[in-house]
Structure 1
């Protein structure tokens, strides 16, 4: 089956991939296309922009956390029925895990799903040197199907025509457009990347402007032609048939400006297992929804909204009461921070949080952990009945200090070129709660989702705290 698609890749981070990606998505949607967005790698912020623009949930395609066959299945499943798929790359085209170009890189994903690549370069201050740069990306891995070049950060058409002539003469790859330098359309950043879409004022106006710029200087017809020439994909597209399915389990999912970092496929898998997801806001709602059998706190920016979270005392008390009653609770990164006793911001202000763990979170000026990790779940917990290993990703600027020895469920390992370079304990476990810094993709170990839903079912049936202390 043919799934019209292309990858928007960059020569490096900061070249304008996200701005151009959402502009292209907006322009295609304006033409009436049903656009399915994807993001290479473990990012949460860029997919939120994609979803806002297209109206379709963006999906992560991660070639390190997931097997190639799983990546392909998830792509086909979500691209099915859509007019065109736009896949935004991560970092530079060949940047992945360590120095391995075929472990988690944009190039790796493009080969797994046989997608043509549009390479975005920064043309500022260059002429013929742009051709040398493109040629290097072309010959580094000839199996990567680079079908077009978009040049960003140009003064105007004359500069574009100069670079276009050089690139096409020396590389044979067509240039399909450019973007003018325009600081007004730049998406602002803070300590973990772009400011999330839910916090951007006048976002629709800004996206409309970016889309109009794309329409003006990028050949959309050529992009569409390239997408339609993508190699046909064959394989199973139906949702995986799970052995267990748990009806009527209600899992509360924290979703607002403070908590919105979730892999959409994780949520889908919980639903496929029979869970009904009930969304709530720790910022705005007075208490948890009624009749919940589990809680899921994703990552986000609780430190940015710490004062508002602190002031919502009734919600914090509602969560603490539910936890004390044994409700299965799983939290990642920002969710972990929220479940500690307090968060101290970079400004030195201390704000009380839920207080499940006798620990506190302190923000720091530098990254504490960043990158892919191997999470060894060493003892039974809310998402695992048995010890198991799972791949994950960490990215945070906070540290946890504990006033007593809390129980750990994880031993986390960081490797480079197959060699262990660091390891530490994480995964705080208390009552029927598990909270850790690592973000885990359930499709790496689907039994984790099954075990979580089963624990929620046990709680609903009054079978007690299966893995509590």
Structure 2
């Protein structure tokens, strides 16, 4: 028996707000609150074949969105698939399709939401749009309950509700519990296109929308009552679905198209292939310039290539690679969007050209839910095989069928098929037809593994299709590396001094993909936008730092007189350089050069202490008479995170240690921070005589620029003892910190959950980048910061610029040369473009 609290969100008709409420409910239940102090693990499911809603569910729950469709997989698999998808979850939320009782036409409600509710014994919560209803809502609800007594309708959520008076009238008319009343909010509307909603992967503000949905549902829906309904669901006497399939030998690599243009596929497809012993590797046809190394099978699912036709066509190297692979017999499955991508053209735009057809947008939508019979023996089928599937497209192909058709649907031959290719408009759910996955895996296993060391032999077109940009980039590599070799051969050549004023923002010029500026790649959270707007609205008054000092003090367990807001960290360094007549200033390098430059501008002599090849702090190397020591933690550009104990060991009477913690909030848990005045982190703060202007101590400089994407706001601050803070404030230009910056400080001082999420994102992106570079034989410094210091070789920095990629040159940091670059952590899709460009540069040079 499986214990699984669950509900199904249904409606009298489509357009009532099922997706809005269901997705918001998933997000709200996942978030901590009085109903679940630590939040719940939520599993999201969708009735029907739809791919788009599960994408929103996945973003809301942090788990794959799953489909439950009796037509596609058969009624007997619905409960097992539900239990499989909900493994480890506290609750399952199932979003219905169309109206509650609407299913396959002519089949008495087969595959309807009601059908799935009965198959899974799940209580139903009705969502009713009451924007234009009053007591009639009660009549509709009564009819829904009476229509089929076997369907348990346990409550109602009123959506797009108006006045309190009308809501009260509706509630009196209902004979069901009202679990929530959600007011109309136009911000919750999701954009649509010719096939429905815009997929979550294509919406830049998807995360913010999900957050807003969760907030609205948490505010206006009784989550405890919803949980009570979910817990009435009886235990399920079923075994979870498992991908039963015979493993193949050799672990063949299956390249699966993803990214913004290919968002439609069922997670069980990849699970079946993995169970068969395949290695499933995603690639993005918009970004990647080659198929994954070792590809022995290609799966091109659904999506919107018609929206991205020009961008897909511009990626000539990948299209040539795919065409060569298909033509050489690499097993390839293409469903709907995959067929369009393989076509000769799409609305006049050249595509891969592996299938002899031209595709174009049509006036009418094709939507059908058929049985299909295999028209021939092929890669996936044997003649006479019968499957169930769905078609949903607004394009047509000319011709519409190849010499060997893939399927017969309603007597019509469709698609293209051969022993190595299966391409058509029909979408199938392989959990219902696992023999499709079995045959695909077996064909991939029989395909010889390509020799990636001789990729041009297999794909001879790759070199021929190089763009002029690629050729110029490779020429640049040769020229610059030749220059570097000549310099090395002439040791008497003067080595230029590092440019201490060089900054990453000058690298990221228009038209280049930015890996040079260490700012979080993503939109700012809504609460920060509101704070910045409120700060701007207060610009008619002189800035007052009181609230910011109080908020930051609370954040770090200090008192307000230990906090000084500054116009970015750069102002803090200028103040620190001038606050005392430092006799011996030491800067640990390689490190952020702005503190060094500030000391030079203040007329101070600077002693540089360089680290070894591991870039780790050696406290014993700091001169005993140093009265100022500046170090980054984590260090920019190395990313190395020093031990708090080593930093504390530098502090002594008469010495001030300045720790630049500009990036430490981008590391989950902020390990080895010395920002708090407690014994477990900074015992020096409790030692009498430490922290004063004359007595020495530890001073921490922080910046809000990096993690929160606000470099133009200039929001930084200093943490030190009151005497040092007073001395710095006396040097500070009056009102140097703007009201928006102060508002941001207040808002971000209590941004724990969002801060943790961003830190986790950055860590994942950074680890992925470091791993990919290491696999290419590139030396990567073992760091923790949201960037990677990589030794790529002389000339690569300039060559990448020729490829449209901006990375931070590193020879401006004392202790580094032009063989190093610093690369900011970015989402995997962007990182893929960097890696593709880097591969081309490396290939040409080698």
Q: Is the 8 Å Cα contact of residues 48 and 67 (structure 2) preserved in structure 1?
A: yes
Determine which structure has the larger strand proportion and give its number: 1
Q: Is the 8 Å Cα contact of residues 246 and 453 (structure 1) preserved in structure 2?
A: no
Matched, 1:109 2:104: no
> Per-residue CA shift, 1:162-217, capped at 9, x if unaligned?
2112103xxxx211112111112100111000011112132222222221111111
Structure 1 residues 339 and 133, CA, compared in 2 at 3 Å: closer, same or farther? same
Give the equivalent residue in structure 2 for 1:424: 412
From 307, 310, 321, the equivalent of 1:318 is 321
- Give the Cα separation in 2 of the matches to 1:451 and 1:84: 35
Give the equivalent residue in structure 1 for 2:800: none
Shift of 1:425: 1.0
- Give the Cα separation in 2 of the matches to 1:270 and 1:448: 10
Q: Is the 8 Å Cα contact of residues 326 and 354 (structure 2) preserved in structure 1?
A: yes
Give the equivalent residue in structure 2 for 1:265: 268
Matched, 1:371 2:385: no
Give the equivalent residue in structure 2 for 1:60: 67
- Aligned to 1:260, the other structure's residue is in SS state coil
> Per-residue CA shift, 1:200-239, capped at 9, x if unaligned?
1322222222211111111110001111110110122262
> Per-residue CA shift, 1:267-316, capped at 9, x if unaligned?
21111111110100111001111101100000100000000001111110
Give the equivalent residue in structure 2 for 1:417: none
Give the equivalent residue in structure 1 for 2:554: none
Unaligned ranges ≥5, structure 2 = 33-38, 451-846
- Give the Cα separation in 2 of the matches to 1:276 and 1:455: 14
Give the equivalent residue in structure 1 for 2:332: 329
Shift of 1:370: 0.4
Equivalent residue runs for 1:339-418 within 5 Å: 339-344=342-347, 350-367=348-365, 369-402=366-399, 406-413=403-410
- Give the Cα separation in 1 of the matches to 2:264 and 2:294: 24
Give the equivalent residue in structure 1 for 2:173: 166
Q: Is the 8 Å Cα contact of residues 114 and 230 (structure 1) preserved in structure 2?
A: yes
Worse-superposed segment, 278-287 or 451-460: 451-460
Matched, 1:455 2:443: yes
Structure 1 residues 300 and 405, CA, compared in 2 at 3 Å: closer, same or farther? closer
Q: Is the 8 Å Cα contact of residues 42 and 60 (structure 1) preserved in structure 2?
A: yes
Q: Which has the higher contact order (CA 8 A, sep 6+)?
A: 1
Give the equivalent residue in structure 2 for 1:154: 161
> Per-residue CA shift, 1:22-61, capped at 9, x if unaligned?
1111101112111100000000000001101111001100
Matched, 1:232 2:229: no
Equivalent residue runs for 1:10-409 within 5 Å: 10-31=11-32, 32-168=39-175, 173-237=176-240, 239-344=242-347, 350-367=348-365, 369-402=366-399, 406-409=403-406
Shift of 1:448: 1.2
- Give the Cα separation in 2 of the matches to 1:91 and 1:403: 30
- Give the Cα separation in 2 of the matches to 1:201 and 1:448: 35
Shift of 1:407: 2.3
Shift of 1:405: 5.3
- Give the Cα separation in 2 of the matches to 1:167 and 1:236: 38
From 410, 422, 426, the equivalent of 1:434 is 422
Aligned CA-pair RMSD: 1.6
Give the equivalent residue in structure 2 for 1:7: 8
Determine which structure has the larger helix proportion and give its number: 2
Structure 1 residues 46 and 371, CA, compared in 2 at 3 Å: closer, same or farther? same
Give the equivalent residue in structure 2 for 1:443: 431
Worse-superposed segment, 356-365 or 151-160: 151-160
- Give the Cα separation in 2 of the matches to 1:254 and 1:438: 17
Shift of 1:246: 4.2
- Give the Cα separation in 1 of the matches to 2:445 and 2:218: 51
Shift of 1:379: 1.4
Shift of 1:247: 4.7
- Give the Cα separation in 2 of the matches to 1:34 and 1:351: 45
Structure 1 residues 238 and 135, CA, compared in 2 at 3 Å: closer, same or farther? closer
- Give the Cα separation in 2 of the matches to 1:69 and 1:320: 40
Larger radius of gyration: 2
Structure 1 residues 148 and 101, CA, compared in 2 at 3 Å: closer, same or farther? farther
Q: Is the 8 Å Cα contact of residues 249 and 460 (structure 1) preserved in structure 2?
A: no
TM-score scaled by length of structure 2: 0.51
Q: Is the 8 Å Cα contact of residues 101 and 107 (structure 1) preserved in structure 2?
A: no
Shift of 1:427: 2.2
- Aligned to 2:389, the other structure's residue is in SS state strand
The number of equivalent residue pairs is 443
Shift of 1:80: 2.2
Structure 1 residues 99 and 167, CA, compared in 2 at 3 Å: closer, same or farther? farther
- Give the Cα separation in 2 of the matches to 1:404 and 1:428: 6
- Give the Cα separation in 2 of the matches to 1:79 and 1:221: 20
Q: Is the 8 Å Cα contact of residues 154 and 178 (structure 1) preserved in structure 2?
A: yes
- Give the Cα separation in 1 of the matches to 2:163 and 2:279: 52
Shift of 1:245: 4.2
- Give the Cα separation in 2 of the matches to 1:83 and 1:156: 35
- Aligned to 1:407, the other structure's residue is in SS state coil
Structure 1 residues 14 and 70, CA, compared in 2 at 3 Å: closer, same or farther? same
Give the equivalent residue in structure 2 for 1:420: none
- Give the Cα separation in 2 of the matches to 1:161 and 1:403: 56
Q: Is the 8 Å Cα contact of residues 384 and 452 (structure 1) preserved in structure 2?
A: no
